[in-house]
Every structure is written in structure tokens, then in C-alpha cells.
Structure 1
Amino acid sequence: MTVTPGVERELDQRYGRTPRRASRSRWWAVGVAAAFVVVLVAWVVWGGLLGRPAQLESRDVGYVISDDGREIDVRWRLTVEPGTETRCAVQALSDSFAIVGWRIVDLPPSDQRTREFRETVRTVEEPDTGLIHSCWVV
């Protein structure tokens, strides 16, 4: 079926497919894309470049389970700005990942950026592992 140019123009006008409408739709698309780019750039600058670096970092070093299985020595390394008082939660886990021991440890400020700690945690049953749960600035 062939449509003549006059009929095609009438159909385009009837259903809103005019050159003016197409131009307007393109401008809307360009405007929305530009707004998205502005918001994305602002977010990256605000959150990534201007944001403060991480306050602290803690890493598990190891653990030793006592002979009777009632306590565990957990060792970890803490990196924090010198002079910052911190607090850490140390936990002991069973083989089913249940918490069988927990202790909050206050760490005094120091002039060293990275320090290593060792803490003994008493447990209610034999632990399978010990690790640092989290640390925060006091």
C-alpha cells in the first residue's frame, strides 16, 4: 500500500509527528541529559574528591585458640590518625558462625599511625575463629 505525500502529512499532523514536535523532543532529551551530567559531576566532586579520606582501617592478623577452648587471643592491626582515641569490637565465632565471645576494647591515642593489638576473648563454647568485628573513633 502506497501513501501519498499529502495523506502522509495529514497523518503526521493528526498524530503529532511534526518537525516542530520532533525538535522539541530532542531539546527535552538534551536538557535531561545535561541535567543528569551536572548532577553526576557534582556528586563525584562532593563525595569523591572533597570528601574526607577514611578515618581508620582495621585488619585481622590472626588468632590462637587456648588449649581448653574457653578463650581465644585475637590479633589485629589498626591504622588511624595519630592522637585519635578508638574503640574496637572483637568477636569469637563458632564453626556455624555463631558469636560465642564478644569484647569491646578501648584503645588509647598514640603518636603512631599503625599499631598492632592482641586481645583475649573469653568464650561460652569452643571457637572456630576470632576476628575484629569493627572499630570506630570515640
Structure 2
Amino acid sequence: MAHGERELPWDQDNHPGSPELSDQHTTPAAGPAAAGSAAPADRAALDDRYGRGAGTRRRGRLLAIVTAVAIAVVFAVWAIWAGPGQTDHGLDTDDVGYEVVSDHQVVVHTQLAVDPGTEVECAVQALDKGYTIVGWRVVTVPADDQRSRSLSTPVNTTSRAVTGLIHSCWVP
């Protein structure tokens, strides 16, 4: 090194295993047994810093239990609501057509299929060219021993209808 120059840290040959580095990082607890575990005081400080501890574990466990119970309750309510007590009795409707009789009446033709012996109610509607409901009627279809039935329903209207159809059917 030239006169007046200072020796900089990166000019030294400091590599792992060199005496300069080994001496700087030696601690009394350093050794194979202490390398994998922290001292209890250090562990407690880390647990406090990062929010780990018995209270946090208890809260996490409690949150998991509450979530599982909530999911089970929601599933049970859904199973009861959509369960075996709910049946549509094989109810199915098809709009076959309609016939505009006058400015104040339309006849709606429907094919209805339902389990034999089941009474059904249907809401029949008539619409104008703006898709506004201009006529509405609820009809009761009595129980029959046949599954399939044809239904023709006259619906009175407030103005000229351009279509008629079944809105919905249900078992009362």
C-alpha cells in the first residue's frame, strides 16, 4: 500500500473462514446446539413482536370453530328448505298458443302435465305490444286421473292484447 493511503474494508481478504470474520461473529452461545433454537427471552420477544402466542392461537382456533358452525347451520337450513318436503308434483307447462278474440279478450291455450290426482292453480296473463300486462286471471285446474291435460283459458283485457301465456303454475 502506498504512503498516506488508508486500507478500506473491501481491500481486505475477508472471506468465510478468515480469522478477521471468524473473530467478529463469535458469541459464547454459538455452537451446534444453539444454532437451531433461540433463547427463551428472544423467542418471547419475537412472539410479542409478531403477535404469536397462546392468546392468538386461541383466537384463531375459536374463529375456525365459529366459521365451521356457521357453515354447518347454513347448510342445515338449506337442506331443510330444499329438502324432501318440497316437491313440484311433476308440474310442467307448455304454452301452445293464443287467440285474440277481440280488443278486450284473448284465449290462452296451454298443455299442462302434473301427477294424477293433483289440483293445480295457474296464473294466465295477456300482454300488449309494449309487453305491459293488460289481462290477468288465476284458474284452478281440478285433480284428474290423467297426467297430461289441455287447458284453454279466456282472459279479459283492458286493451288489445298481442299475446297470451301462462305466467306460472303451482300446487296449492
TM-score, length of structure 2 as denominator length:
0.60
Q: Relative CO higher for 1 or 2, CA cutoff 8 Å, sep ≥ 6?
A: 1
95, 111, 124: which is aligned to 2:145? Answer: 111
**Structure having the larger proportion of residues in strand:** 1
Q: Which residue of 2 aligns with 1:12?
A: 48
Task: Write the distance in 1 (CA, Å) between the matches of 2:156 and 2:142.
Answer: 22
Mapped contact 2:98–2:107 kept (Cα < 8 A): yes
Q: Which residue of 2 aligns with 1:97?
A: 131
Task: Write the distance in 2 (CA, Å) between the matches of 1:11 and 1:46.
Answer: 46
In structure 1, stretches of 5+ residues that fail to align are none
How far 1:111 moved relative to its partner? 0.8
In structure 2, stretches of 5+ residues that fail to align are 1-40
Q: Which structure would you say has the larger Rg? A: 2
How far 1:10 moved relative to its partner? 8.2
Task: Write the distance in 2 (CA, Å) between the matches of 1:104 and 1:41.
Answer: 35
Task: Write the distance in 2 (CA, Å) between the matches of 1:34 and 1:104.
Answer: 45
Q: Quick one: percent identity of the two aligned structures?
A: 36
Mapped contact 2:47–2:53 kept (Cα < 8 A): no
User: Runs (4+) of structure 1 moved beyond 6 Å?
Assistant: none
After TM superposition, the structure 1 stretch with the greater mean CA deviation from structure 2, 29-38 or 42-51, is: 42-51
SS across alignment from 1:63: strand
2:84 aligned with 1:35: no
